[in-house]
Amino acid sequence: MAARPRVIIIGGGFGGLTAARTLKRAPVDVTLLDRRNHHTFQPLLYQVATAGLSPGDIASPIRWILRHQSNVRVLLAEVQHIDVERRMVHIRSADSVTRSAAESGRSFTLDYDYLIVAAGATHAYFGHDEWRDRAPGLKTLDDALRIRRRVLLAFERAELEPDPERRRRLLTFVVVGGGATGVELAGALAELSRHALAHEFRSFHPDTARIVLLEGGRDVLSAFVPPLRAFALKSLEKLGIEVRTSAVVTAVDEDGVHIKAQAPSSEPQAPDERLRAGTVLWAAGVAAAPIGRALGAPVDRAGRVLVEPDLSLPGHPEVFIVGDLASVTQDGRLLPGVAPVAMQEGAYVARLIRGIARGSQPIPASRRPFRYHNPGDMATIGRAAAVADFGRFRLTGWIAWVAWLFVHILKLTGFRNRLLVLVQWAWAYFTYQRSIRLIAGEDRG
Catalytic residue among 103, 161, 184, 318: 184
CA 325 to each of CA 42, 101, 119, 292: distance values in angstroms, whole numbers, following the listed order: 16, 34, 7, 7
Give the residue ranges of DSSP H helices in 261-323.
none
Q: Is 184 a catalytic residue?
A: yes
- HSE-CB of 82 using CA atoms within 13 angstroms: 27
AA letter at 329: T
Phi, psi of 19 (to 5 degrees): -60, -45
Length of the chain: 445
CA angle 318, 323, 324 (to 5 degrees): 120
C-alpha 87/C-alpha 324 separation (Å) is: 23
Nearest to 330 by CA among 348, 351, 353: 348
Q: Is 92 exposed, middle or buried (0-12, 13-18, 19+ CB in 10 A)?
A: middle
**Alpha carbon distance, N-terminus to C-terminus of the chain:** 57
DSSP-assigned letter for residue 196: I
CB 194 within 8 A of CB 222: no
CB 211 within 8 A of CB 186: yes
C-alpha 336/C-alpha 342 separation (Å) is: 9
Element (H, E) at 141: helix 141-160
AA letter at 55: P
Strands 242-244 and 210-214: parallel
Nearest to 324 by CA among 40, 122, 89: 122
- Strands lying side by side in the sheet with 394-396: 377-382, 385-389, 394-396
AA letter at 86: R
Name beta bridge partners: 360: none
Q: Taking the CB of residue 192, how many other CB atoms lie within 10 A of it?
A: 25
Burial code of 417-440, b = ≥16 C-beta within 10 A, e = fewer?
bbebbeebbeebeeeebbebbeee
Q: Active-site residues: which are they?
A: 184
